[in-house]
Chains A and B, each alone.
Chain A
Amino acid sequence: MVEKIWNRQAIVRGDDQPDLLYIDMHFVHEVSSPQAFDGLRAKGRSVRRPDLTIATEDHNVPTDTLELREPTGRLQVQTMRRNCLEFGVTLYRLGDEGQGIVHVIGPETGLTQPGMVMVCGDSHTSTHGALGALAFGIGTSEVEHVLATQTLPQQRPRTMVVTVTGRLPLGVSAKDLALVLIARVGTGGGQGFVVEYRGEAITALSIEERMTLCNMSIEWGARAGLVGPDQTTFAYLRGRRFAPSDELWAEAQEYWHSLRTDEGATFDEEIELDASSVVPFVTWGTNPGQGVALSDVVPSPDEFTDPEERSAAQRALSYMDLTPGTRMRDVVVDTVFIGSCTNGRIEDLRAAAEVLRGRRVADGVRLLIVPGSMAVKRQAEEEGLDEVFVAAGAQWRGAGCSMCIGMNPDIVGPGERTASTSNRNFEGRQGPGARTHLVSPAVAAATAVVGRLSAPADIDAEKVPTPVSAARP
């Protein structure tokens, strides 16, 4: 499928230079674009296709107010507004109905469709692959290149297929699947590859679950991850604002069908995973590959035979302030974050609400629930999920990247520990000195109730939580 998309989009193919790929849709946000627009101005260039470009404010905006109080963040947002006006680019501003995280609004508006090549100055652009698009993150110089030419010189990637057999057990999510996969292949395992996910378990996933999985592709090094379009894809797209109209629908479906990987197609690399063996998974370290089952314990650096991995584990444990042998379920958290381009969609919020309904957040725990877009927010409020969250003691916010990225007012304090549905547990990712455990929405919600890393099934077993300190004596 990757090859088929590539061959249709490669305008110029050179022997001594990369292929020139046509970009069907370019998403822009406030953080990675100002220098790109500056570059255009400096050379007197324009945006070639404003109709194939769309901008949103998500990374540094606050989620509890529409007021941009912080001066440097405000300057970036204002710069974006000025640039979009000057170059004729459609912008969803903070507070607008359509505003949200770029990787949430693309699919929900129907702008993301099978077979499209899509880019954004953000590594989690791989999310859009859930609908069968070839979508990848780019840097600011490339943003400028796409703005000016609607194309990008790209080396043809190597291809990999991840076949997930069987079915995910009840209570296990696409996030757990992604974390298990990364723990197995390592953070660099997909370097240089575009990955196609397939198999019974993938077919059974909803589009939003596929987005979670594709979103995390970059966390094991793959620049893009995608799923072949099927009936689930078509049903998701039908009727969305930018989806093909009824009269074009048959034509579109035919086109999308033709993109699917042929029987017997070969890949440069193949991985197989059994979905039925996946369990709720959490990270203990400072990269997304450092994870274990929730039922497991913090590993000892001695368990790693590779000296690099051993020293990385040592460093991670010291940063995370964890002692080998500690049960993951005994790890006490200060903050729980549910949101982000990984897990900030309506199904994620429903999963959290199911756990939080009629329950209270544990004393001393701060729970932030941040919808990925204003549309998700409206939907959640229509379903009454906001009331469930507020009744449980959570903070219900506006749309944005929020606590995933540590560059807006939602940050985790130094030394604080968080269970987060986001995508990165790097040192300082959620704020200087913040300690992150990556989890699924259900585990996040249960953790907020118990006060320690927990699955929903643990809640009733823990009527009276008695937290045990995970810190070293």
Chain B
Amino acid sequence: MKPFVVHEGIGAPLRMSNVDTDQILPSRFLKRVTRSGFGDGLFIGWRESPDFVLNRPAYTHATVLVAGTDFGIGSSREAAVWALQDYGFRAVIAPRFGDIFRTNAGKSGLVAVELAESKVERLWDYCELNPGATITIDLEARTVMAGDDIKESFMIDDYLRRRLLNGLDEIAITLTSGDAIAAFESERPRIKPRVFES
């Protein structure tokens, strides 16, 4: 996972709530066995419409998506995160995220920033008044900045922040608890099922 410390990039205002994972990446695009190449299907239902934000030249190269509440609700498909990353996004800002999407983003290094609705509203206005303007996300300082006036702090779980800042392999972290896992397994109730006896 690529470390994320500070990122400055064009902000794209997506004034919509409840953008579910079927809208981010429909299931028919899930038939890959790799982590890359999903960008083709990103927001495919809207990509034909000239009004869609990413079709407007100022926002085509956006790397920070500013969306409405409950972004990424629905299925557990991590490919929704990979599709956003494949397109070039490094971060998504929204008032609230679908639970699994937010977790997936954290695992894959896409930064999901939660900001209150009024603050997202200000960012939308800013991005629309200044098409192509950039937004800066400083994960170290936990701030979102845009233009001269916008500087918002955000909350993020410390453990996740540490992992993102350093691009840490979480499985390697867990494997350091190998003894504790083995000890737990040796005392696991015998009533619990196993697919086969090993």
Contacts and interface: CB of A to CB of B under 8 A. Distances in A.
Interface string B139-157: 0000000000000000001
Interface in A87-135: 90, 110-111, 113, 116, 121-123
A32 B68 contact: no
Contacts of A333: none
A12 B183 CA distance: 11
Contact of B107 (A32, A38, A45, A139): A139
Contacts of B184: 11, 22
A25 B76 contact: no
Contacts of B158: 16
Contacts of A59: 27
Nearest to B117: A308
A255 interface: yes
B45 to A, nearest CB: 5
B19 to A, nearest CB: 10
Interface string B159-191: 100000000011101110100110011001111
B30 interface: yes
Nearest to A253: B191
B22 A429 contact: yes
Interface in B98-124: 98-100, 103-104, 107-108
Nearest to B160: A18
Contacts of B189: 255
Nearest to B45: A428
A73 B30 CA distance: 9
A255 B190 CA distance: 11
A59 B26 CA distance: 13
A447 B107 CA distance: 43
A412 to B, nearest CB: 12
A369 to B, nearest CB: 21
A138 interface: yes
B17 interface: yes
B195 interface: yes
Contacts of B70: 187-188, 191, 221
Interface in B70-128: 70, 73-79, 81, 96, 98-100, 103-104, 107-108
B17 A308 contact: yes
Nearest to A431: B28
B22 A149 contact: no
B23 interface: yes
A248 B190 contact: yes
A465 B174 CA distance: 62
A191 B75 contact: no
A304 to B, nearest CB: 12
Contacts, number: 198
A332 B180 CA distance: 59
Contacts of A24: 192
B20 A53 contact: no
Contact of A287 (B18, B78, B194, B197): B18
B174 A50 contact: no
Contact of B193 (A32, A110, A121): A110
A123 B26 CA distance: 15
Interface stretch (A140-148, A201-209, A265-273): A140-148
Contact of B198 (A25, A50, A54, A138): A50
Contacts of B107: 139, 141-142
Contact of B31 (A76, A424, A429): A76
Contacts of A148: 171, 174-175
Contacts of B74: 123, 424, 426
Contacts of A72: 31-32
Interface of B: 16-18, 20, 22-23, 26-28, 30-35, 45, 68-70, 73-79, 81, 96, 98-100, 103-104, 107-108, 157-159, 169-171, 173-175, 177, 180-181, 184-185, 188-198
5 contacts: A20-B181, A34-B32, A34-B33, A34-B34, A191-B70
7 smallest beta-carbon distances between A and B, as pairs: A141-B107, A139-B104, A139-B78, A34-B33, A407-B27, A72-B31, A137-B76
Interface of A: 11-12, 16-18, 20, 22, 24-25, 31-32, 34-35, 38, 43, 45, 48-54, 59-60, 72-73, 75-76, 79, 90, 110-111, 113, 116, 121-123, 137-142, 144-145, 148-151, 153, 155, 187-188, 191-192, 221, 223, 242-244, 248, 251-252, 255, 287, 308, 311-312, 315, 405-407, 424, 426-429, 432
Given A138-B103, A150-B181, A153-B174, 7 more contacts: A25-B193, A32-B77, A139-B81, A139-B104, A141-B104, A187-B73, A312-B17
